Amino acid sequence: MAIRIIRTDNDPILRKLSKEVTVFDEKLQILVDDMIETMHHADGVGLAAPQIGVLKRVIVIDLYDDEGPMALINPRFIDQSGLQIEEEGCLSLPGRHGMVKRPLSVTVQFEDIDGETYELTGEELLARVLCHEIDHLDGILYIDKQVTVENKEA
């Protein structure tokens, strides 16, 4: 496993569309392992592959609860409901925070590392992290959706 460099700020790769994963091989396992290690090293609760310069639809999440780290390949929303407005930050936008509107509950379909399809329903923090990380796969950052003016932007 290796810690990868997290792309930040105006790096153009953060704005690109990531491609669907079609090959579930050892290379994908290495990517997932490196993403989890990189997320843990940065004390993050989530990381998307484009943040380490890989334009593949892969996200990892760890809420540091009993669930442990999760890897979701090709995550897509199949349901969402409710509304929450909470503060978010991003490992790619160090030192910044902003309030963002998200659904309170989301259900996501995804493949695991072996290509098996599963569903995951998350509420509150998990819902927010799922939305935030899936946005990264479409080149969207939380600052695009934040509902208050950021202090550091003059």
Active site residues: 133
Q: Give Dmax over CA atoms of the chain in angstroms.
A: 47
Nearer to Co ion, 96 or 107 (CB): 96
HEC assignment per residue over 124-148: CHHHHHHHHHHHHHCCCCHHHCECC
DSSP category for residue 4: P
Nearer to Co ion, 7 or 105 (CB): 7
Residues of this chain, 60-99, that bind Co ion according to CB under 5 A: 90
Nearest to 123 by CA among 83, 71, 151: 83
Shortest Å distance, C-beta 92 to Co ion: 5
Cβ 44 vs Cβ 3: under 8 Å: no
Is residue 134 a contact point for Co ion (CB under 5 A)? no
Is residue 127 a contact point for Co ion (CB under 5 A)? no
Shortest Å distance, C-beta 132 to Co ion: 5
Residues that bind Co ion (CB under 5 A): 90
